[in-house]
């Protein structure tokens, strides 16, 4: 099982000091957080993609390429890459380039985006959101798998004899996750292709997450990719820890109360009762995260949101120490218990390459 | 059969709740007549849910007690909705409840018989029923009972309110019986079962075909 972090990349004033970091500070902080993730033994770093203030990560592969050069093991990913408003040709090129630079330590998560004006800013119609996700991904899927593509669709200019370069590393397309919070259509899309499905459950009650994942698992099996239990599931999480749980609550409360997403709304206590948010000791985080398996089944990837709402870099780095030293080692051990042998790990470049080499008949056809 | 009263009254006791109760007392037995057992009546008091209603706008999902209220409303065979008049319209709390409901379940009121009612300090606001409540519930695709009931303070000591309650509640009962009773089903007037996007997924190949996009190539 993979453990990692995902960042939104918001530039938010620290409510305890009133100070807002500069864009440069925030971007460098995101890099420092990624490097720390590798140092403390996490597996994945994923960045969001946004095209409006107060968010900085508009160019994910630029950032991930820089991080790739400074890390050895970390898998670089996105949360999410906008499949609706980006040109699928550019996604194919950017992430194939990143694959080569990062020696295959790359996957990505498709999302539709939830900021209405981004669609018109990029010349798209939000009412076509699902159709854009369907058509653009169908093209992206081909661009990574066919050397020469002829294409005609509804949303972009046709392609005749087009080859996306560089070709994917070792001819293996990056693994793709599809992220959606409330659209069954996207769970269906992930299932159809046998791709991963990520439910960012951090602002949602468990019963909703359960329905989406059950749908994905059932449809994954329907399309013949394996049993429902073998489908590739990822979940979000959101935690703030101190050794003493009362200290965690006291320190995090002003960040919670002023957070861009849920601030000035429910109490910290209600929100922790109703969603995966955990504010407390490392042991409390372990217990709550282990309970995700009760409704999601054995899953492959757990990403935590650690660096939002104006938390200072120093605090985030301390949180990552706690996550890497006290939480994730226990989670690895506990999640491995009673995990059926036929439940796969999340695909990586190495595993996808190996499984292709294990399929000699297809190699024969290619030859 | 199930009848749900949604009351946006704020004081305890409240004349808004009283009006809802009076309407339900007539509609519940009439909806099931000639069966001796009246319709099961549930009351949703929005005052008790005010904080959870506000939080749906900051959270995006209903907290447990509000989710239960949404389920009661969605499951009802008929609704009686009663609001005090604030600033020439329904109260903000009343509107917020239905905003949050329709954001959670946009078809919750589709085809559902709804009796609209309001209370106010004077009779001068009585057209709030026609100018504010009726368009709201028409927009939400409810079947709105032709007669609405408005009760000003003075109505509680005057003649005429009883007759309006009787008429409106009987109309609601007839719609409930017609839409959910055997004769309604025989005439095909029962609303179609709601489509559950989790139960009935559009197969992905159909989505691709609708866009004239070919399916994926075989794995390399």
Per-residue DSSP letters for A27-46? HHHHHHHHHHHHHTT--EEE
Range of the domain at A51: 2-366
Minimal CA separation from B79 to chain A, in Å: 27
pLDDT at A182: 87
Tokens representing B148 are 């609405």
Q: Per-residue confidence at A268, pLDDT binned at 50, 70, 90?
A: very high
Mutate to test the interface with B, among A188, A197, A206, A222 (most CBs of B within 10 A): A188
Number of other residues whose CB lies within 10 A of the CB of residue A161 = 7
> What's the pLDDT band for A263 if we cut at 50, 70, 90?
confident
In chain A, what residues touch B49 (CB-CB under 8 Å)?
Answer: none
Nearest CA in chain A to B59: A262
Q: Tokens 């409006």, residue? A: A52
What mean pLDDT comes out for the span A301-328? 97
Q: How many CB atoms lie within 10 A of CB A362?
A: 14
Using the predicted structure, report yes or no on whether residue A295 has a pLDDT greater than 90: yes
**Residue A260 — pLDDT band, cuts 50, 70, 90?**
confident
Residues of chain B with pLDDT under 70: 179-196, 217-220
Asked whether B85 and B78 are in contact (CB, 8 A), the reply is no
Task: Compute the average pLDDT of residues A133-138.
Answer: 97
DSSP-assigned beta bridge partners for residue A55:
A10
Q: How does DSSP assign A247-300, residue by residue?
A: HHHHHHHHHHHH-TTTTTSS-HHHHHHHSS-EEE-HHHHHHHHHTHHHHH-S-S
The pLDDT, as a whole number, for residue A364 is 42
DSSP annotation of B180 reads H
Q: Is the pLDDT of residue A366 over 90?
A: no
Phi, psi dihedral angles at B107 (to 5 degrees): -105, 15
- What is the C-alpha separation between A32 and A28, in angstroms, rounded? 6
Averaged pLDDT, A246-259: 96
pLDDT digits (tens, 9 = 90+) for A63-72: 999 999 999 9
Contacts of B13 (CB under 8 A, 6+ apart): none
| Domain locations along chain B | 2-191
N- to C-terminal Cα separation, chain A: 35
* pLDDT for residue B187: 42
SS3 content of chain B, % helix, strand, coil (to 5): 50, 15, 35
- Give chain A positions within 8 Å (CB) of B208: 134, 138
Nearest C-alpha neighbor of A203 from the set B63, B155, B8? B63
- Average pLDDT rounded to a whole number, residues A145-161: 96
- Name the CA radius of gyration of chain B, rounded: 20
**3-state secondary structure labels for all residues of B51-101:** HHHHHHHHHCCCCHHHHHHHHHHHHCCEEEEEEEEECCEECHHHHHHHHHH
Burial category of A150 from C-beta neighbours within 10 Å (exposed 0-12, middle 13-18, buried 19 and up)? exposed
Q: Which residues of A touch B (CB under 8 A)?
A: 130-131, 134-135, 138-139, 141-142, 145-146, 153-154, 171, 184-185, 188-189, 191-193, 203-205, 208, 211, 215, 219, 262-266, 270-271, 274, 356, 362, 366
A332 Cβ neighbours under 8 A, 6+ residues apart: A1, A3
A55: three-class secondary structure by DSSP = strand
Region label for A224, one of left (φ > 0), alpha (ψ between -120 and 50) or beta (otherwise): left
Using the predicted structure, report yes or no on whether residue A27 has a pLDDT greater than 90.
yes
Query: In the numeric block, which tokens belong to residue A45?
Result: 């770093």
Look at residues B42, B40, B65 and name the one whose alpha carbon lies nearest to residue B53: B65
Tell me what pLDDT residue A201 has.
87
Q: Largest alpha-carbon pair distance within chain B? A: 83
- Nearest by CB to residue B201, choosing from A184, A265, A356, is A184
Q: What is the pLDDT of residue B169?
A: 98
* pTM, full prediction: 0.87
At A362 the pLDDT is 46
Average per-residue pLDDT in chain A? 94
Question: Structure tokens of B87?
Answer: 């600033």
A196-236: pLDDT as tens digits: 999 998 888 888 899 999 999 999 999 999 999 999 999 99
Summarize the confidence of residues A242-261 as an average pLDDT.
Answer: 94
Interface contact B207-A204, CB threshold 8 A = no
pLDDT tens sequence across B65-116: 999 999 999 999 999 999 999 999 999 999 999 999 999 999 999 999 999 9
The CATH number that applies at residue A100 is: 3.20.20.30
Percent of chain A with pLDDT strictly greater than 70: 98
The single residue listed with the structure tokens 């979940």 is A235
In the prediction, which pLDDT does B165 show? 97
- Do the beta carbons of residue B58 and residue A265 sit within 8 Å? yes
The domain total for chain A is: 1
Q: b/e map of B164-195 (b: 16 or more CB within 10 Å)?
A: bbbebbbbbbbbbbbbbbeebeeeeeeeeeee
DSSP assignment string, A206-261: HHHHHHHHHHHHHHHHHTTSS-GGGS-EEEEEEEEE-SSHHHHHHHHHHHHHH-TT
Query: SS3 for A333?
Result: helix
Task: For domain B2-191, give the fold.
Answer: Rossmann fold (3.40.50)
Question: Which of B55, B198, B214 has its CB closest to that of A265?
Answer: B55
pLDDT, position A106: 98
Cα distances (angstroms) measured from residue B175 to each of B1, B5, B99, B158, B184: 12, 16, 25, 29, 9
Q: Which of chain B's residues have a Cβ under 8 Å away from the Cβ of A362?
A: 218-220
How far apart (Å, rounded) are the C-alpha atoms in residues A196 and A180? 11
């Amino acid at each position: 099982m993979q453990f990692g972090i995902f960042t939104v990349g918001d530039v938010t004033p620290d409510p305890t000091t009133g100070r807002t970091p500069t864009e440069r500070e925030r971007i460098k902080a995101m890099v420092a957080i990624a490097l720390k993730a590798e140092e403390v033994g996490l597996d994945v770093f994923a960045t969001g993609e946004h095209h409006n203030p107060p968010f900085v990560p508009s160019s994910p592969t630029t950032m991930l390429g820089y991080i790739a050069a400074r890390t050895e093991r970390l898998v670089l990913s996105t949360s999410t890459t906008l499949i609706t408003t980006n040109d699928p040709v550019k996604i194919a090129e950017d992430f194939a380039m990143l694959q080569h630079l990062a020696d295959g330590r790359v996957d990505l998560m498709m999302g539709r985006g939830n900021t209405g004006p981004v669609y018109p800013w990029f010349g798209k119609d939000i009412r076509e959101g699902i159709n854009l996700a369907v058509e653009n991904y169908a093209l992206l899927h081909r661009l990574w798998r066919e050397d020469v593509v002829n294409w005609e669709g509804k949303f972009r200019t046709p392609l005749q004899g087009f080859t996306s370069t560089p070709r994917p590393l070792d001819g293996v397309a990056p693994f793709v996750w599809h992220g959606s919070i409330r659209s069954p259509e996207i769970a269906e899309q992930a299932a159809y292709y046998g791709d991963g499905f990520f439910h960012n459950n951090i602002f949602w009650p468990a019963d909703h997450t359960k329905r989406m994942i059950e749908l994905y698992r059932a449809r994954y099996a329907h399309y013949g990719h394996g049993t429902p239990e073998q489908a590739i599931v990822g979940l979000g999480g959101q935690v703030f820890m101190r050794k003493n749980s009362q200290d965690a609550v006291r320190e995090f409360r002003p960040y919670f109360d002023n957070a861009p997403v849920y601030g000035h709304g429910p109490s910290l206590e209600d929100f922790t009762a109703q969603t995966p948010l955990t504010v407390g000791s490392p042991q409390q985080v372990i217990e709550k995260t282990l309970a995700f398996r009760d409704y999601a089944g054995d899953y492959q990837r757990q990403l935590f949101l650690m660096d939002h709402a104006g938390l200072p870099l120093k605090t985030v780095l301390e949180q990552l120490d706690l996550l890497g030293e006290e939480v994730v080692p226990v989670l690895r051990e506990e999640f491995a218990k009673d995990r059926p042998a036929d439940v796969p790990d999340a695909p990586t470049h190495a595993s996808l390459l190996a499984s292709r080499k294990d399929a000699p008949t297809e190699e024969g056809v290619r030859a | 059969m199930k009848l749900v009263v949604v009351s946006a009254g704020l004081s305890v006791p409240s004349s808004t709740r009283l009006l809802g109760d009076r309407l339900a007392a007539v509609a519940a037995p009439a909806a099931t007549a000639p069966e001796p057992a009246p319709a099961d009546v549930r009351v949703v008091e929005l005052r008790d849910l005010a904080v959870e209603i506000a939080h749906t706008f900051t959270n995006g999902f209903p907290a447990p007690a509000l989710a239960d209220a949404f389920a009661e409303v969605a499951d009802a065979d008929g609704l009686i909705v009663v609001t005090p008049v604030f600033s020439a319209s329904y109260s903000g709390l009343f509107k917020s409840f239905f905003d949050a409901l329709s954001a959670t379940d946009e078809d919750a009121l589709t085809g559902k018989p709804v009796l609209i009612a309001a209370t106010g300090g004077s009779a001068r606001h009585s057209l709030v029923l026609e100018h504010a409540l009726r368009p709201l519930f028409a927009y939400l695709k409810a079947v709105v009972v032709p007669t609405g009931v408005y009760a000003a303070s003075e109505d509680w000591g005057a003649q005429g309110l009883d007759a309006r309650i009787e008429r409106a509640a009987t109309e609601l009962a007839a719609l409930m019986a017609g839409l959910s009773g055997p004769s309604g089903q025989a005439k095909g007037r029962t609303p179609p079962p709601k489509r559950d996007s989790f139960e009935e997924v559009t197969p992905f190949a159909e989505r691709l075909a609708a866009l004239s996009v070919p399916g994926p190539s075989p794995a390399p």
